[in-house]
Chain A
Amino acid sequence: MADDVFILGRRCLNALEHFGEAMMLLARIFRAFPMIVRSFRLIFNQMMEIGIRSLPLVFITSVFTGAVTAWQAEYQMKEYVPMIFLGTGVSKAVFIELGPALTALVVAGRVGSSIAAELGTMQVTEQIDALETLAIDPVRFLALPRFVAGLIMLPILVIFADFFAMAGAVVVATQLLSITTATFWEGVKIFFHVLDVMAGLVKAVAFGGIIAFMGCYFGFTTRGGAEGVGKSTIKAVVFSSVLILITDYLIATLLFRV
């Protein structure tokens, strides 16, 4: 019993220590924000890596997300809801929830793991120490560009994801569910609110920051060679995914008060 309490206490202390370290890193990233202009080339490179190179993955996941949403919405609605509301239901689901959340989760898998693995490898091979010896702040040089690129590129990816998902939904609705294009878009327009799209983009900014930050934090705190890099990569993806879902809920409760 005493051992269990001791272990629990130690785990709590470890968690607090991690939280404190993470907050300190976040503070250092924000303190480095005035150096954004100087880091423009690095930010641009990361925008390409996080954004442009994620597009094919976002395309595939979004098209099928839209397609399956349309298919299953029709299955659930066909007996008691007029089909004009299929477009309404699909667009609301995609703009508010599925676009930002699923895009963030797949980007967390691709980009969060990549950032953690890259920075983790740099940590265990002394490349981060080498940066320090060259009088270059690793937070400014490595974390800031990734964080800023995450904040900028996730909303852009979500705009693409919304577009691809709606395209997938339209194809399924018109080609497989015998709903006309006009009916589908009429349904989208009836209850369209700009707030829905904006809420999705606000979420995307937060998700982009979470993905990049978790990758950087677990990358910088990597210890112990290849095994450590592997563990950091897993932690970056797991913590990003969990935080994305929690943040999703918190933002939804703030923006959509009942």
Chain B
Amino acid sequence: MIDIVHVKKSFHGVQVLGDVNLRIKRGQATVIIGRSGCGKSVLLKHIIGLLRPDSGEINIDGHDITSFSKRELFELRKRFGMLFQGAALFDSMSVGENVGLGLREHTDLTDVEIAAKVRQRLKEVGLPGIEEKRVAELSGGMKKRVGLARALAMDPDFVLFDEPTTGLDPIMADTINELICALNRKTSETIIVVTHDIVSAYKIGDHIAMLYEGQIIFNGTPEETKHTENPIVRQFITGSSEGPIQAL
């Protein structure tokens, strides 16, 4: 379980996370929605220990990771996989090297065994046989899927997705959503997705939480989200420019 308690974070005097409280149960797919720049990605980076909060706790299975040393954080991250907004593939490596890097660094598997695992993961994301391709040869959608294969390579307990469908055409976006849903159905992995794509949120989420002005202002099932009376959530899910959220 991930328990975020009173987390605050500011950058150069600008508060991004005001007082975030959120509990994510094991095996649950939680989608965090919110406007661009509201701090969703910052929250995700706190959960995996890339950023430390100014105050508050982030408990992973009962351990507060905000007090972890760098070494303890590296150990913890072996249980995590993360898909970045731009995929963040290593462009000096081939697709196969990207997907197999974690296995090569942290396991005693032979090259043949790693190659087999890489092949399997790429097949699962619908990209069989592209191990030798360079990252520069891939389309945006392919990069995201390779990024997903890399995130899943170590069989993580928690998988984090940072805007997985941003910048993709609707069909490719749905393909990515389907892959995430399939992952949730097949495994007991805990999934956290941050997005401003409400279609994806409904499709993927067991729970949807909304981050607004540095706080979680709503947390409920997709059905509860659709029928909420909260005017901020309503404005966001209907995509209206009229309402309490001011267009900047």
Give every chain A residue within 8 A of B102 (Cβ-Cβ): 134-136
The answer to whether A133 and B92 have CB atoms under 8 Å apart is: no
A41: nearest residue on chain B (CB-CB)?
A: B104
The answer to whether B86 and A133 have CB atoms under 8 Å apart is: no
The answer to whether B105 and A126 have CB atoms under 8 Å apart is: no
Contact for A136 among B50, B75, B92, B101, CB less than 8 A: B101
Within 8 A of B (CB), among A114-156: 118, 122, 125-127, 129-137
A128: nearest residue on chain B (CB-CB)?
A: B88
Q: Mark B57-86, 1 if CB is under 8 A from A, else 0.
A: 000000000000010001101101110111
Give every chain B residue within 8 A of A131 (Cβ-Cβ): 90
Give every chain A residue within 8 A of B80 (Cβ-Cβ): 133
A126 and B150 CA atoms in complex are apart in Å by 15
Give every chain B residue within 8 A of A125 (Cβ-Cβ): 86, 88
Question: With A129-B50, A135-B77 known to touch, is A118 a contact of B92 (CB < 8 Å)?
Answer: yes
The answer to whether B92 and A126 have CB atoms under 8 Å apart is: no
Question: With A134-B77, A135-B77, A135-B106 known to touch, is A129 a contact of B88 (CB < 8 Å)?
Answer: yes
Contact for A135 among B45, B74, B85, B89, CB less than 8 A: B74
A130 and B162 CA atoms in complex are apart in Å by 12
B103: nearest residue on chain A (CB-CB)?
A: A134
Within 8 A of A (CB), among B103-151: 105-106, 150
Question: With A125-B88, A127-B88 known to touch, is A132 a contact of B50 (CB < 8 Å)?
Answer: yes
Give B contacts to A, CB under 8 Å. 45, 48, 50, 70, 74-75, 77-78, 80-82, 84-86, 88-92, 101-102, 105-106, 150, 154
Give A contacts to B, CB under 8 Å. 118, 122, 125-127, 129-137
Ranked 5 nearest A-B pairs via Cβ: A130-B88, A126-B88, A135-B77, A133-B82, A135-B74
Given contacts A126-B86, A129-B45, A137-B74, 8 further A-B contacts (CB under 8 A): A118-B92, A126-B84, A127-B90, A129-B50, A132-B77, A134-B105, A135-B78, A135-B105
